[in-house]
Amino acid sequence: MTSRTVPSRGRRVSDRGRYGGLNRERVLAAALDVVDREGLSALSMRRLGAELDVEAMALYRYAAGKEALLDGLVEALYLELEESLEAAAASAAGEGAGEPAPWRDELHRIAQEGRRVSLAHPQVVPLLATRMLAVPLARRPLAVLRFHERLLALFDRAGLDDRTAALLLQAVTGWLLGCILVELRAMVDNPEEPEPAFRLGLHLMPAQELPRLRAWTP
């Protein structure tokens, strides 16, 4: 059992909780579970410690604080995506698929799986944009960088030159994140209202100025 000393208390804090000994992936998976159920505002070292049945101080070897936990949520999502993509590749190899799929088909599959995993964790999706604004490329989680490497390897297989591959990497990742964010935009104004027009708040939108949007929204 691993433990550490808490200076302010002079005693040992175990990192063996209800799920056994901790590791970084287990801590991040638990943080993802908390956020999925309770939202980003609920996440703290104390709340995560309670989830794992350890004291909060035991978690600092795996994440230095709240900011590191936010980066860890991005990492956890990309780890899940990576695991899913690897499982699909192994399944295809086991079925004797032979030649790899055309690169455009593979790119479509990666995008679809990225969308599926992201929509499974909607509370984390905004972090895919905001944390990338705060964290330089080289300091981003390795799982994020491996995803970019996967795309660049695909573009290399397609025979694209470096400049085209770099532009396509930006276009694909930007398009994918943009589509997911649009899909997750809040639409319902009053969840308790059974009438669709009032549920969506169409009465709040000026009919003369926004005729097409009012007609399209339902």
Q: Which CATH architecture has domain 13-63?
A: Orthogonal Bundle (1.10)
pLDDT at 19: 47
pTM: 0.81
Mean pLDDT by 10 residues, the chain (218 residues): 39 47 89 95 94 92 90 94 91 71 94 97 95 91 96 97 97 96 94 94 95 93
Q: What residue ranges do the domains of the chain occupy?
A: 13-63, 76-185
CA distance linking residue 66 with residue 197, whole number of Å: 40
Q: Which CATH architecture has domain 76-185?
A: Orthogonal Bundle (1.10)
pLDDT at 20: 54
pLDDT at 15: 54
pLDDT at 10: 33
pLDDT at 66: 87
